[in-house]
Structure 1
């Protein structure tokens, strides 16, 4: 195995953010579906690693 540096996302912080998003959406009468969770996660990864270009989704509103 190589000891090359690799980025990682701490799962504890990511879970807190998703929980807060779910609570915020529930207060507005909406629900965070699995497909929306995946898009949010991928958009987050893209902000951490801006050289990755895979996000061709439309903008969406969380309320």
Structure 2
């Protein structure tokens, strides 16, 4: 897993350019990151990376 892949997934989930994905984007501090986008992001990460998050990690 590389940083470019993660940036691509974040950009797709939040419908922004990859250049706009920065370390400052964080849950509870980035307005577009609501609960629905959070679940979408988790789902996209799981699918793309072939992993499965535990419920405690998702929350």
* Length-normalised TM-score, structure 2: 0.41
Task: Mark the structure with the bigger radius of gyration.
Answer: 1
* Length-normalised TM-score, structure 1: 0.39
The structure with the largest helix share of the pair is 2
